[in-house]
Amino acid sequence: MNKALRNPLIYGLFVLPAFVLFLAFFVYPILSAMNNSFTSWNGISKNITYIGFDNYLTAFQDAAFWKSVRNNVYFILFSCLIQVPLIVIFSLLIANVKRLKGLYKTAVFMPSIMSTAVIGILWGFIYNPDFGLANEILGVFGLPQVYWLSDKNWAMLSILITNAWQWTGFYIVMVLAAIISIPKELDEAAAIDGATGFQRATRITIPLVMPIISVVIMLSMAGAMKAADIVLVMTKGGPAGSTDVMATYMIRYAITSFRHGFGNSIAVLIFVFTIVLTALYQFFVARRTERIEY
C-alpha cells in the first residue's frame, strides 16, 4: 500500500476525484462570480456585456453600500468585544460548576441548533413594542418604550443581540471542551500555591485556551461577514436600509432588481474583504497564540 502511494501517478489519481470536486464546487463558482462581476448581466440574457470595473465603482460610490459595510463591521466588533468575553466568562463558570454541568451545556447550546427563522420570530415577540419582554423589563425600571426593530437607532443593536444569543452557546461548548482538556494538575498546583480562582482563570486557564479563543474569534469574524439570514428574518434590512449588511445589500440592490452582474461584484467584495480580514487576523494575532505547551 505504502509502496503504491509512493508512486506519484497513483497518488495523483487518488487525489484527482477530490480535486475535481474542489474545482467544480469551489474554484469554478468563484471564478465564474469574478467573471460575471465585470458584466452587466441580468441573470437571464444570453448576451453578456463586459463593463470593466463599473460594478465595483457603482458599489464604492454608493453610500448605502458603505452603510452595509459599516454594519458588517458592527457585527465583527460586537462579536469580538462583547460576545467573545461573555463566551469566556460563561465557559469558565460552567467548567467550574459541580452539578448539572450537562444541563447548562445543553441549555446554552440549544439556540445554535434552532432555525434562524424560529429565532427571528421568538425575538420578534421579545422586541414587540406593546407586549414584548424587552419593553416589560424597561417598564419595571420606569424607562420609556423602545421601538426595537422600527427605530433605526435600535434596530441594529437588536439584531446584534439576537445573533449573539444564537451563536454564543455554540462557541461556549467549544471553549468549554478546551478548558476541560487542560490537565487538572496545573490548576491544583496553582491552588496549592495560593492562587485565587480569578488568578487561576486569568493566568492559567485563559492563556491555555487562547488557541481555541482565537479560532472562535476567527469564526465569528467570518460569520459576521456573511451574515444575512438573521437580518432578513428580523428587519429585512430596514427600516430604510439601516440594518443592511453587505449580503442583504446584494439581495436588495442586485438580485431582486435583475442586476446579477452587480450582485456578483458584491459577492466578490464580500469574499475579498473576508479573506483580507481573516488573513490579517491570522498574521498579526492568531499566529502568536497558536503554540501552547503544557
Choice between 149 and 172, CB closer to another protein: 149
* Least separation in angstroms between CB 194 and another protein: 54
* Least separation in angstroms between CB 133 and another protein: 16
Choice between 130 and 193, CB closer to another protein: 130
* Least separation in angstroms between CB 157 and another protein: 13
What is the separation, in whole angstroms, between the first and last Cα of the chain?
Answer: 37
Choice between 208 and 232, CB closer to another protein: 232
* Least separation in angstroms between CB 195 and another protein: 50
| Separation CA 161–CA 122 (nearest Å) | 13
* Least separation in angstroms between CB 58 and another protein: 9
Choice between 76 and 146, CB closer to another protein: 146
Choice between 27 and 240, CB closer to another protein: 240
Positions that interact with another protein (CB under 8 A): 1, 3-4, 7, 10, 13-14, 16-17, 20, 40, 42-46, 64, 127, 129, 147-152, 155, 235-236, 238-241, 252-253, 255-259
